[in-house]
Structure 1
Amino acid sequence: MLQKFALAFKTKTIEFFAEDEEEEGEERESISAAVDLDPVPEEIITGQRVVVLKPDPLPQPPQADPETLIPALFATLSSFQAAYLHLQTAHSPLLPDAVRSADRTAVSHLRRLSDLKHSYLQNPSPSSRPVLPLSSHLQAQVQENQNLLRTFDAVVNQLQSDIDKKDAEAAALRQRLRDIEEANSKLARRLDRACAPPDGKVEALLSIGVFDSVLKDTCRVVHRFARCLVDLMKRSGWDLDLAANSIYPNVDYAKPGHCRYAILSYICLGMFGGFDSAGFCLEDSGGVGSDGIDVSTRRMNSLVQFIEHSTVDPLELISGSPSCDFAKFCERKYHQLIHPGMESTFWGDSYHGESMWGSLQSSSPLYEPFVNMASSMWTLHKLAWAYDPAVEIFQVAGGTEFSMVYMESIVRRAVMFGSDHGKKSRPKVEFTVVPGFRVGKTVIQCRVYLNDLKEAV
């Protein structure tokens, strides 16, 4: 205010003296004219003083002290933090207007920080520092608190957005669960109607086609495990011919690769061992046969177990219930098929301790294919014991003459005998590869390897 008044007073003073100078000039001209006309003696005026008025100096703004700088610095930093947080939240979901606004705000605070840096770091002497319009100490604290509130508000908004998203996902999962439960209840009602003996639905479900379909799926899984085992034997340096000869000696194979049928037979017959017992060779699962058990109860229990096991993952079942009957079945069958001597040649002593040889371990490369094969065997067994009478299993001993009623050659288009080759005798069985089954009065042929096939193959 004083500065403005001084400037105004200075201007008026200059104008006043300028007018006096103009009037004095005019008087001098008139006097000079009079002097020219009529010169008079010069008169000197004494005792006159000249007063010169000068404006007051401009007030200098106070130099910024560190007590004001530090709060301003923290307030600017908190402002930048809040602006940057708003910039981040504006990207998810993307809001272009909010992104541009937050970006401009963040840049302005960065410029403010840059000004503070250049003002107070590049000019260490207080007298040489340019004066910056810093806020007061209390104003800086208020600004910092406001920025903290904006930061908290952005965080709360982000958390609320996450909560809303999780609530939406939970609602969708609850709806999906209700749909699954409703579908399961419908399937349960259909199963109850299908398994109800008065309606005769069990016989419709337990047909020969159903058993044959499950048997073919089981054979495919066994073939996959056999391929894995054979590949592992070849990588470990095994001689497949010697291994096949140890299983079935003195067999004249039609082709060198047919020795794999002996290994497949070893796996199939080993896995199907005990198939004719209700417990599948588990002494604590009902013993052998079905004596003392009501037929309808046995059929219903077997059918329920068949359906339940068909809907679960066998790997998860073993890991979740390591003491269940299926886990015990897998452990026993693995111990019968893969003895410790085979494992030591496959992986060596460095794979795991000697105490673990002959036991099914999840770290073994054969773990997953073996569990899947055992699961198929377990499912087929439960289905077989749901029939009335239970499905019977049979196999053919070596040296038995081939019968097209009960047998099928494992080598396709290999059964060429009689008048086609001028032979009077039928070919004989070397060994059974896949056993056969009797479902009521229907026979599912066993698959065998025949001798003297070199002319037919």
Structure 2
Amino acid sequence: MDSVSPATSNIVSIAKIFTKIIRFRRKTTSNTTADFGPDQDHEIHKLKPSKSIDDFPQAIPIFEDEKVKKEENCHNKESMESLLANIFTSISAIKASYAQLQVAQSPYDPETIQSSDQCVVTELKHLSELKRAYFKNQFGPPPPPPLAAQVQEQRNLIRTYKITSNKLESEIRCKGSEITALQAQLLESDRQNRALESRLHPGNPLSSLDGLHLSELDPSHFLAMVRHTVRSIRSFVKLMVGEMESAGWDLDSAASSIQSDVCNKPGHRIFAFESFICQRLFSDFHNRNFGLSLLEERATWESRQFFDEFTELKSAKMKHFLQTQKGRSSGFGKFCRTKYLTLVHPKMEASFFGDLDQRGLVSSGRGFPQSDFFAGFVEVARRVWLLHCLFFSFGREMEGSIFQVKRGWRFSEVYMESVMEVDAGDRPPVVGFTVMPGFRVGRTVIQCKVYISGLTENGRS
């Protein structure tokens, strides 16, 4: 770029010359009806420039004959218009070359930079030649007419208004960005308030997920839903154990028949029942349709459809929802019907209620029972269903998985959480069975809950 700097100093002189040319042109056209204004700009570009510098007159002679003077003025006018056309052409070429040079800086293109620089130098040399041609003619600068000065003044005002307008628009955009940031902070504050409210009022545990949008979804929301589901499973297990005790069941034998590793202590057998509930409810959780032919249409659902169903059922009242035709024929209604028949054995129901009326009503598809036991089951089924909907709301770019640990595996704090207190002894802990499965969403791992084999201390996670 060093070759441009010596020639650039000529631009100031050329600007002064250009002002003198404009003034001279106004003088030469003051006695005619032609006006070198915006309406005639296109005519200037139609004129061809002079073939050589010698075409310009060397001097302005004084003629006594009026006809000769008019011819000389006409010749001078054509020469000026040719000179102006050449100047405008060179200036536009410089602007284009300079713009191209700026673009070639990033990414760096040395060949384009060199060619653009050479073009600028060439055009500056051309302008220098036009300047020498002007000095040979020695035109005097006449004063500008008032109308032209007014037009130029209005143009300057318009330019000022445009600059002010652009500044105000930039400030508006900055204010808009601030408003958007404040709105995001407000939403975050609302979520924190809902979380605190849910801790103060545990009767509405899902309130922390109110107002959630698909674009805001992240693994922390899924983790919150997992915790709600775990609490619901434990509540249902307590309800089921209460029915077993009322029916005279041997709870130790029932727990041992489910998981032989569980110790014969009241605080331990509850984990075997939780494991049994999770195995039934989370079966085929990794499939979009839960592996059920009745839900085959869900196999092609997108993340938006799963999230919309999560939003709809999260705040719905299940007692009224399942009594409607929409609720009975919905995907959740079919899920409840199938899982209840899988989870509650006919002998279990007969021992609890003395008959199979609830099972018959569920299997017929005409409706659902109104008992407290079935209401407890519906609530835990709803939590698992909502967790499933949220699981597939992340889309395929954050595709997740569900996992459990087999009996005899070594305990790992990365993927497992013990439901008992682990005593770090000489022998590493060994897994007896999985109580609650674990999940992976994107890069986030939610630990599965396991029962450590051989522990005798009571405790919960």
Structure with larger Rg: 1
TM-score (normalizing by structure 1) = 0.49
TM-score (normalizing by structure 2) = 0.49
